[in-house]
Amino acid sequence: MQNQQEDEVEKLLRDYQMAQEQLRALAMQLDQFQAQKSELDRAKQEIDKASGKIYSNVAGIIIETDKAKALTDIKDRSELIELRISSVTKQYNDFKGKEKLLGDKLTQMYNSRKSVSQ
């Protein structure tokens, strides 16, 4: 019986640690996507102010483009980034809930073992 409880605690602890690792990875992805979104927002502001030639970086090659095309490209890329942010945020929240549930279970098990040993 004791061995079975220890195995369950170890499994819960591993699951808890994996959830924390996933949370860290998802938080890093969110930061990256939000930085990309900010960069696109700044680029849009600059293009809106521009009155001369506009250049765009396509696959490592800089080409001349018109303002409307550049704004459409930025809008499309912004929408894609927003979709990714939304998706990763949902995953993050799901893992946050899982991590909390596992943490609560571990705390409960620890407290029950502590009260039994006293």
Please give the Cα distance from 42 to 59 (Å, whole number). Answer: 20
What is the per-residue pLDDT across 41-99, written as a single tens digit (0 to 9) for each?
Answer: 999 999 999 888 898 888 889 999 999 999 999 999 999 999 999 999 999 999 999 99
Domain architecture of the chain: domains with CATH? 36-109 (1.10.287.370)
Q: Which is it for the CA torsion 76, 77, 81, 82, positive or negative?
A: negative
Joined together, the tokens standing for residue 20 give: 């924390």
Which residue(s) pair with 65 in the sheet? 54
Q: What is the pTM of this model?
A: 0.80
